[in-house]
Structure 1
Amino acid sequence: MEKMNDSNAKQMYYGWKIVAAILTVLTFTSGLSFYNHAIYLNALATQPAFNVSTASTAVSIFFFSSGITGLWVAKWIEEYDPRICISVGAIICFISLLLLAYVSTIWQLFLVYAFFGTGFSSSSLIPATTLVTRWFHRKRAMALAIASTGLSLGGVILTPVTAFLVGSLGFTLAAPIIGAFYIIGIVPVTWIWLRSDPESMGLNIDGDIDEPNLKEIAPQGEGVIMQTVTPGTDYEANLEENITLKQASASRFFWGVSLAYIFLMMAQVGGIAHQYGLAREILTEAQTALAIAILPIASIVGRLIGGWLVDRVSIRLFSIIMMVLQASSLSLLSGGFNVISLYVGLALFGTSVGNLLMLQPLLIAEAFGVRDYARIFSFSNLMSSCGTAVGPALLGFVYASSNNLYARPYAVAAVAGALGLVLFLLGGKIKKAVVIS
């Protein structure tokens, strides 16, 4: 028996297979939805019924729908197998892409985009981060960093492919092919490798075999205690004392994080959405092609380095540094000085983008534990989705009212990022409770 346990201990923890599967899922969800809106809507813009304003509104509806659906998704994945939720989300996105090729009126576009948003929410961040949080405690930051790299890989790998398909075949023929990619890339991986939690496979969180696990007792006051849990005990029992959504929503820290992320995501997504237009103001076509590749690459590298650092430094301090970096880089981009400053600004902005998206679920899990994580994160994510939805439209409006120049829009984004930092600081430090039984 002892030799068998030694052999098991040397095997790779199954949680890392979960991470690889989620990386794949997020690559397809981001590459075929989040990063592809401009491609889809530009294809539809050839019709007289649609214009830039209509397109911006459709994207906003997508993110609002995604945020609202997230509340239901969180409840579903707590009560049922998350693989069902992810698969249903992929099917909804497939159907949405089929329908999108045939919309001819504004109300049809808005309806399909709302439906598309529900599918995206069901198959993306909420189930993905919930699964990583369930499987990891000690190396949660690195696990999330690796898994969420798929968000950037989707833009780097799949978005150019879909742009080629739409340009070569036309949107009507390309849409069902892109939708098929969504199903093929997500559903098989989900059912072959994803599992709800370690207990479903007779494992303990982090892969501990023979030693007792450490269980984090939920925050309700000052300090923290760690309690041992016997290996093999029921996973749900291990989470009993983690904080609930009701308790979390009564804390200052929850509101500090959630309100901060409204403005952080407003600045981030707005800045990403308009980077091409910003680059074209001062760069040639060849220089612009290089410029728009800088941000996703910096995002990937920055996220992986950040995942390694967060396990070794204060997560709150690291979050503050990334928020300062985002506001500063957006300020640099608003200056429009020269080619070098633009490249440097995009690299710094990309570094903050990669880390801030990862830090929101980490902060929620660190402060409030795992048991009700999905509901707590979905509530926080609903608020940040408002910033995500408003950001591109807000910067577009400022651009239109600024003689079609991007200096002022990126200055507005920098202010939004700074406001997010202030709100985060007002939320105070992460507080964990001493629970005395």
Structure 2
Amino acid sequence: MARRAAMFFGWQVVAAAFVVAVFSWGINFYGPSVYLHALHAREGWSLSLISAAITLHFLASGLVVTRLPALHRRHGLVAVTRAGLLACAAGAMAWGHASAPWHLILAALLTALGWALTSGVAINAMVAPWFERRRGAALSMAFNGASMGGVLFAPLWAALIGAFGFAGASIWVGLLVAGLGWVLAGRWFAAGPAEMGLFPDGAAGPPAPRPMAAPAGPLWRQGPFRSLSLAFALGLLAQMGLLTTLFSILAPALGGAGAGLAMSVATACAVIGRTAVGVLLPPGLDRRLAGCGNFLLQAAGCLVLALAGGGTAALLLGVVLFGLGIGNLLSLPPLIAQAEWPPEEVAAVLALLTAVNQAFYAFGPALFGAALEGWGAAAPPALAAALQVAGAGVLLTGRRRG
């Protein structure tokens, strides 16, 4: 029995979900910046044209992700995950082989489908059935794959493009994701704990049922959902926009190499912050308070960046404070939803929440780019700080009383 507990299959599922997150974020979240640069250099297309296709990628994904819970029920986790990874692979190849502007539409729609089927809602569906008491830690570990997607795929894309060109690089990336992802999904997502005769957390019996109020009408009419979705939409708008402009803000003071290193520090801090919250968050603490604290931590970092005035130490402090909160904008919404809605409602809550978030943050690069161009380096972090403070306030308005 001790060996069975030590080898609990749920942790293997977490590791598999981690790999899916690496693939998904590497192609669909961090990849667009690669596509933007590579296509602009190769084809000479305007940045605004390619950026419009990237915006389409995020908006179309937001429409598809609302159907993900229904797709899981109808076709199963394995088939849907495989389809998503194949769409990621095909989309990467389509971006790499685009030779006419209209090809960007096909590429954007393919990666949008892959992003919808393999991103946050999907990661939660893979991991959540296996954990109750340790769900926060398990989700944090799985979502760390999102950060590693940036750490691993950015240099991978660069190396492959240097060796084979953008088109050749996209083939190698697509084959890696499609081949490894197909095997991975069939091995670790084919059965849940019930089918394997196991219980969440590797326990000897089922968890005690949690008293939970019945849902009160459609989600968009529920105050807690509106506050949760709007708060994290504001936070992710700030995060996406600032990350898009951060290199340009840092480079004058730190140089190109220093700015790149600082961006890596932010990614490393995202892993640290997400892991710390997942492991140390007290079980009885209101998750909305944790979310509020995370928003305010990032806002403090943004204010330091805005007031740094080119000072190296202040810029690095701002990057660290901002970076510590990056990962929790992915992992906290599932924990809040699982604490506030019945289990059968959580997938739908997260799907609609993700759609709202993507509809907001798809416009982050354009908004923050305009702020940088119009008002200088202090404007994007100042705008981000304002959005994050607003997000914290909105999140608190939805706290359930009693």
Q: TM-score range by the shorter chain?
A: over 0.9
Q: Report whether the alignment pairs 1:218 with 2:215.
A: no
Residue number in structure 2 paired with 1:382: 355
Q: Which amino acid aligns with 1:259?
A: L
Q: How big is the shift at 1:389? A: 0.4
Residue number in structure 1 paired with 2:315: 342
Q: State percent identity of aligned pairs.
A: 26
1:184–1:336: structure 2 CA closer, same or farther, 3 Å change rule? farther
Residue 322 (structure 1) aligned to one of 294, 299, 320: 294
Q: How big is the shift at 1:32? A: 2.5
Q: Deviations over 1:306-356 (max 9, x none)?
A: 101224443222111101111221122122331111111111111111112
Q: Which amino acid aligns with 1:385?
A: Q
Instruction: Point out the more displaced range, 338-347 or 38-47.
Output: 38-47
Q: Report whether the alignment pairs 1:367 with 2:340.
A: yes
Residue number in structure 2 paired with 1:86: 81
1:325–1:202: structure 2 CA closer, same or farther, 3 Å change rule? same
* Aligned-pair Cα RMSD in Å: 2.0
1:197–1:150: structure 2 CA closer, same or farther, 3 Å change rule? same
Residue number in structure 2 paired with 1:27: 22
The 2-side partners of 1:346 and 1:367 are apart by: 32
Q: Which amino acid aligns with 1:379?
A: L
Alignment of 1:115-130 (within 5 A): 115-130=110-125
SS in 1 for 2:396: helix
Residue number in structure 1 paired with 2:254: 283
Residue number in structure 2 paired with 1:272: 243
SS in 1 for 2:7: coil
Residue 108 (structure 1) aligned to one of 89, 99, 103: 103
Contact 1:31/1:154 (CA < 8 Å) preserved in 2?
yes
Q: How big is the shift at 1:99? A: 2.0
Q: Which amino acid aligns with 1:148?
A: F
Residue 259 (structure 1) aligned to one of 221, 230, 236: 230
Contact 1:256/1:424 (CA < 8 Å) preserved in 2?
yes
Q: How big is the shift at 1:285? A: 2.9
The 1-side partners of 2:329 and 2:280 are apart by: 13
Q: Report whether the alignment pairs 1:149 with 2:144.
A: yes
Contact 2:24/2:114 (CA < 8 Å) preserved in 1?
no
Contact 1:49/1:106 (CA < 8 Å) preserved in 2?
no
The 1-side partners of 2:162 and 2:378 are apart by: 31
SS in 2 for 1:15: helix
Q: Which amino acid aligns with 2:198?
A: L
The 1-side partners of 2:272 and 2:106 are apart by: 37
Residue 399 (structure 1) aligned to one of 333, 347, 372: 372
Residue 419 (structure 1) aligned to one of 373, 378, 390: 390
1:77–1:160: structure 2 CA closer, same or farther, 3 Å change rule? same
Q: Which amino acid aligns with 2:291?
A: S
Decide which structure has the larger Cα Rg and report it: 1
The 1-side partners of 2:91 and 2:356 are apart by: 24
The 2-side partners of 1:101 and 1:430 are apart by: 48
What TM-score, normalized to structure 2? 0.94
Q: How big is the shift at 1:185? A: 3.7
Q: How big is the shift at 1:10? A: 3.5
Contact 1:87/1:123 (CA < 8 Å) preserved in 2?
no
Paired residues in the alignment total 400
The 2-side partners of 1:49 and 1:343 are apart by: 35
Q: Which amino acid aligns with 2:46?
A: N
Higher helix share: 2
Instruction: Point out the more displaced range, 372-381 or 46-55.
Output: 46-55
SS in 2 for 1:216: coil
Q: Report whether the alignment pairs 1:181 with 2:176.
A: yes
Contact 1:94/1:180 (CA < 8 Å) preserved in 2?
yes
Q: Which amino acid aligns with 2:321?
A: L
Unaligned runs of 5+ in 2: none
1:163–1:195: structure 2 CA closer, same or farther, 3 Å change rule? same
The 1-side partners of 2:282 and 2:71 are apart by: 30
1:190–1:358: structure 2 CA closer, same or farther, 3 Å change rule? same
Contact 2:303/2:382 (CA < 8 Å) preserved in 1?
yes
Unaligned runs of 5+ in 1: 1-5, 221-242, 433-437
Residue number in structure 2 paired with 1:236: none
The 2-side partners of 1:286 and 1:100 are apart by: 27
Contact 2:43/2:99 (CA < 8 Å) preserved in 1?
no
Q: How big is the shift at 1:64? A: 0.9
Contact 1:18/1:193 (CA < 8 Å) preserved in 2?
yes
1:268–1:33: structure 2 CA closer, same or farther, 3 Å change rule? same
SS in 2 for 1:401: helix
Q: Report whether the alignment pairs 1:304 with 2:304.
A: no
Q: How big is the shift at 1:416? A: 1.5
Q: How big is the shift at 1:84? A: 0.8
Residue number in structure 2 paired with 1:199: 194
The 2-side partners of 1:430 and 1:79 are apart by: 33
Q: How big is the shift at 1:7? A: 5.0
Q: How big is the shift at 1:420? A: 1.3
Q: How big is the shift at 1:212? A: 4.7
